[in-house]
């Protein structure tokens, strides 16, 4: 007999085995809380054929963001769709949204998650999954819109306000972002996504010492999280330390906290690539650290899951001097030519020139780096990633301008950054050679 229960958010769930409710709740709350227990639903994959359980398992495999993720997810989503169990329309919609993701149709997946948010605003796992897809397509207003119905229906859930905070921040609405983050933290002080959103606000507003102190103070709470969340929050702390020119502290954070949790995971890899690149831009010798990262990047084969990921894999291989970098660029270009309609612009008009510019930068071709990255930057949001993450590409473009001796262009782009972030000792130091080359007195914001 099928067991009809409710998940911890009050949504009716249809299960073949009532004992599956605990692992299902671990998926629901673990997902919205960024906790490692999200994987517990896999423990009942073989014993409970319920479509909702199987769809959750499929989603977990897709979160690997690897070339084999779709193949690994396929049996679960097929099992979910084959089932003759009578399930609720909410469950059916979630199954179909995950199926659309597995089959590479993100516009359909997003449309279904948006419909779910309107019809069942307490289905926060669906909401967060919809936000994830919108984020990866660079659609920040969509991230904000999808969360609106839940703000009234699930106001007591701290993780919802963390989701809202990040959406507000990605739409450049920083006061609203901070208010939502602080509302989340008032309910649950260790809510990691709200802490993360607040770090975004503070670095954007140039509140460097405050941001460093805040993230350092809450870092002891980063326990039981998935590897992305824990390494990413440490990455944000490292960014504050880097702006304060604390190179040794950043290298220590890289070695102890940012790289090494799950080295095979996409997000851990790009966090490492991004931090090493920023260190080098700041003039720090990173030693042989690129080599260990590249060893894992080379295992990625021919996967082109997201352009944002692909670009950083390529740069890491290039900085490590790997012969595989050139062939990976060629594969990226070939994939861009056959990318789906809905993602073709991002691949062809942004990822391809950016990839060429990144590989040029990695090999010391500064003019090539300026040309490729300069072409990509105006539409960079279409490749996904956050403002803080995409800032890597702008920093590499600036670095190339300076190394190419294009001092006027460098001053034009770097001085507004320094104005917005007067506490950044890194920017002050990097501006000195710009003004010296221009024959102008050094100016401090």
Could you tell me the two tokens for 353?
Answer: 């020139």
pLDDT, position 1: 44
Question: Residue 116's Cα: distance from chain center in Å?
Answer: 23
Could you tell me the two tokens for 69?
Answer: 């993720």
* Distances in whole angstroms, Cα of residue 281 to Cα of each of 200, 357, 367, 392, 397: 21, 15, 16, 10, 10
Average pLDDT over every residue of 347-361: 98
CA 372/CA 358 separation, integer angstroms = 8
Between residues 99 and 67, which one has the greater pLDDT?
A: 99
- pLDDT above 70 covers a percentage of the chain that reads 99
Instruction: Identify the band that residue 443 occupies on the pLDDT scale cut at 50, 70 and 90.
Output: confident
Measured over the CA atoms of residue 288, residue 276, residue 396 and residue 285, the dihedral's sign is negative
Question: Residue 87's Cα: distance from chain center in Å?
Answer: 33
Could you tell me the two tokens for 359?
Answer: 């590989």
Question: Residue 38's Cα: distance from chain center in Å?
Answer: 18
Average pLDDT over every residue of 288-295: 98
Average pLDDT over every residue of 270-297: 98
- What letter would DSSP give residue 48? -
Mean per-residue pLDDT of the chain: 96
pLDDT in tens, 26-54: 999 999 999 999 999 999 999 999 999 99
CA 328/CA 323 separation, integer angstroms = 9
Average pLDDT over every residue of 10-32: 97
Instruction: Identify the band that residue 2 occupies on the pLDDT scale cut at 50, 70 and 90.
Output: low
Could you tell me the two tokens for 80?
Answer: 């979910």
| End-to-end CA separation in angstroms for the chain | 70
Residue recorded with tokens 């001097």: 321
Contact status, residue 99 vs residue 79, Cβ threshold 8 Å:
no
List CB contacts of 19: < 8 A, sequence separation 6 or more: 44
Instruction: Identify the band that residue 303 occupies on the pLDDT scale cut at 50, 70 and 90.
Output: confident
What's the length of the chain?
Answer: 445
Contact status, residue 12 vs residue 4, Cβ threshold 8 Å:
yes
pLDDT beyond 60 at 392? yes
- What letter would DSSP give residue 12? E
Could you tell me the two tokens for 107?
Answer: 């516009």
3-state SS string over 261-293? CCCCCHHHHHHHHHHHHHHHHCCCCCCCHHHHH
DSSP letter string, 80-98: HHH------HHHHHHHHHH
pLDDT in tens, 157-194: 999 999 999 999 999 999 999 999 999 999 999 999 99
Contact status, residue 74 vs residue 59, Cβ threshold 8 Å:
no
Bin 3: left if φ > 0, else alpha if -120 < ψ < 50, else beta: beta
Average pLDDT over every residue of 242-271: 96
Could you tell me the two tokens for 292?
Answer: 């260990």
Residue 127 CB neighbours (<10 A): 25
Radius of gyration of the chain (CA): 22
pLDDT beyond 50 at 138? yes
Which pTM does this prediction carry? 0.96
List CB contacts of 389: < 8 A, sequence separation 6 or more: 270, 274, 308
pLDDT, position 3: 58
pLDDT beyond 90 at 375? yes
Contacts within 8 Å (CB) and 24+ apart, 326-335: 326/359, 329/355, 329/356, 329/359, 331/302, 331/304, 332/304, 335/304
CA 181/CA 197 separation, integer angstroms = 7
pLDDT beyond 80 at 4? no
């Amino acid at each position: 007999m099928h067991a009809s229960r409710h998940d911890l958010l009050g949504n009716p769930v249809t299960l073949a085995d009532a004992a599956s409710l605990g692992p299902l709740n671990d998926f629901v709350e673990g997902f919205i809380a960024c906790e490692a227990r999200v994987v517990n639903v896999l423990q009942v994959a073989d014993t409970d054929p319920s479509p909702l359980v199987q769809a959750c398992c499929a989603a977990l495999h897709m979160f690997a963001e690897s070339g084999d993720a779709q193949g690994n997810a396929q049996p679960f989503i097929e099992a979910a769709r084959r089932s003759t169990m009578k399930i609720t329309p909410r469950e059916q919609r979630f199954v179909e949204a995950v199926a659309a993701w597995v089959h590479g149709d993100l516009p359909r997946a997003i449309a279904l998650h948006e419909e779910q948010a309107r019809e069942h605003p307490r289905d926060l796992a669906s909401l967060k999954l919809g936000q994830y897809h919108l984020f990866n397509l660079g659609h920040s207003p969509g991230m904000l819109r999808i969360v609106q119905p839940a703000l009234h229906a699930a106001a007591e859930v701290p993780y919802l306000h963390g989701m809202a905070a990040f959406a507000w921040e990605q739409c450049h609405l920083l006061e609203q972002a901070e208010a939502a983050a602080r509302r989340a933290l008032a309910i649950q002080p260790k809510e990691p996504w709200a802490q993360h959103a607040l770090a975004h606000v503070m670095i954007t507003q140039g509140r460097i010492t405050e941001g460093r102190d805040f993230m350092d103070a809450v870092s002891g709470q980063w326990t039981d999280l998935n590897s992305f969340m824990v390494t990413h929050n440490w990455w944000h702390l490292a960014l504050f330390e880097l702006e304060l020119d604390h190179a040794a502290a950043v290298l220590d954070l890289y070695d102890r906290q940012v790289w090494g949790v799950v080295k095979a995971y996409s997000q851990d890899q790009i966090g490492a690539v991004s931090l090493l690149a920023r260190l080098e831009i700041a003039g720090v010798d990173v030693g042989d650290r690129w080599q260990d990262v590249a060893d894992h990047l080379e295992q990625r084969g021919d996967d082109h899951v997201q352009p944002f990921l692909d670009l950083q894999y390529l740069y890491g291989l290039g900085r490590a001097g790997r012969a595989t970098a050139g062939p990976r660029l060629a594969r990226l270009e070939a994939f861009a030519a056959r990318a789906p309609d809905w993602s073709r612009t991002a691949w062809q008009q942004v990822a391809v020139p950016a990839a060429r510019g990144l590989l040029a930068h990695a090999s010391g071709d500064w003019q090539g780096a300026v040309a490729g990255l300069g072409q990509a930057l105006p539409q960079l949001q279409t490749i996904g990633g956050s403002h803080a993450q995409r800032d890597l590409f702008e920093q590499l473009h600036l670095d190339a301008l300076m190394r190419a001796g294009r001092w006027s262009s460098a001053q034009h782009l770097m001085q507004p950054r320094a104005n917005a972030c007067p506490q950044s000792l890194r920017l002050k130091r990097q501006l000195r050679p710009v003004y010296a080359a221009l024959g102008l007195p050094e100016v401090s914001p």
